[in-house]
Copies of this chain bind each other. A is one copy, B any other.
Amino acid sequence: MNAELARRVAAIGDVVGPEAAAASRELLAPLHETPPYHGVAVVRDAAYGPHERHRLDVFTPGGGRDLPVVVFVHGGGFVAGDKCAEGTPYHDNVGLWAARSGMVGVTMNYRLAPEHRWPSGAQDVGAAVAWLAAHAGEHGGDPARIVLMGSSAGATHVAGYAGTASPDPGVRAIVLLSGAYDLELFDPAILEPYFGSDREVLRSASPLAGLVDAGLPVLFAVAEHDPDISHRQAAALFDALFGRDGRVPPMAFLPGHNHFTEVLHLNAVDDVLGRQLVAFVEQHAGPVAAGSAAASAAA
């Protein structure tokens, strides 16, 4: 990220809310590619379950076969968000980033609160994985090499799936971008629509302990301009994983980014996260397609 862009992101503030989200989206929008997406096959709205939110999009680089699959689970405070917001580059940008990095990218919707409450989000992540186990091969992906990546509430769902269910053996690793893991340390107002406000439920629904027990490789990220509460969650995750392993866990500190640009910049701004993600995928889920931009850059 260049200095001017860093200044503009910093000017938005270390805050999370509709205005900061909109400002972040607008700031980066001109830097993104627009459809049609050259060299990437996109399949829209595959149904991985019966609900209208049980839909996912698949991005496959031309000619790709048996590639690692990165599944992106969006944020939105448990009550909002979309895999593909009409007329914006988001979150096609994540699917495109994966495809242009030599992987299959999947962006998924899931059921939202307050109609659908805990653990529907984690269940939907599991249902999408089950769909991929049957169908990834049709889209150039290897169902035995899946990496789940969630942002914000999506990271909480990914962590919940990895920690409380028996994750599908095809899931090789997970990536958590600025999520909530220890719910008792998080903002109750954000959690209430999905988890309710019973402290005992918050304790048992916290994905942190299960995540640590599950032992799946975790890469987590926090942005310089994330709010304090996200930094606290990242520190809790750091401490829990260091406490388990006696080793510093793989993590990405993202200078210059905020809670939103952490995801929104993928496929637009050359930065440390994309490169670190590809290295993490290759380490745990095997090689990306040879000759992709990221594979070359990482060589």
Contacts and interface: CB of A to CB of B under 8 A. Distances in A.
Interface of A: 1-3, 6, 222, 224, 228, 231-232, 234-235, 238-239, 242, 246-253, 255-256, 270, 272, 275-276, 279-280, 282-283, 287, 297-299
A170 to B, nearest CB: 21
Given A3-B287, A272-B272, A283-B255, A238 B248 contact: yes
Count the copies.
2
A246 B232 CA distance: 7
Given A255-B280, A272-B279, 4 more contacts: A2-B299, A224-B250, A235-B248, A256-B279
A272 B231 CA distance: 22
Contact of A222 (B248, B252, B297): B248
Given A235-B248, A250-B253, A297 B270 contact: yes
Contact of A255 (B3, B256, B279): B279
Contacts of A272: 272, 275-276, 279
Contact of A1 (B248, B251, B255, B298): B298
Contacts of A224: 250
A231 B256 contact: no
Given A3-B287, A298-B1, A299-B2, A247 B228 contact: yes
Contacts of A242: 231, 235
Contact of A251 (B3, B253, B287): B253
B228 A246 contact: yes
Given A275-B272, A282-B3, A252 B250 contact: no
B270 A247 contact: no
A134 B253 CA distance: 35
Contact of A283 (B6, B246, B287): B6
A255 B250 contact: yes
Listed residue (A232, A248, A256, A283) with the most chain B CB atoms within 10 angstroms of its CB: A248
A280 to B, nearest CB: 7
A282 B256 CA distance: 11
6 contacts: A6-B283, A231-B242, A231-B246, A231-B247, A250-B255, A255-B276
Contacts of A251: 251, 253
A247 B232 CA distance: 7
Contacts of A231: 242, 246-248
A267 to B, nearest CB: 16
Task: Tell which of A6, A238, A256, A287 has the most Cβ of chain B within 10 Å.
Answer: A238
A106 to B, nearest CB: 23
- 9 interchain residue pairs of minimum CB distance: A2-B299, A231-B247, A231-B248, A235-B242, A222-B248, A234-B248, A255-B279, A251-B253, A250-B253
Nearest to A4: B299
B250 A298 contact: no
B228 A279 contact: no
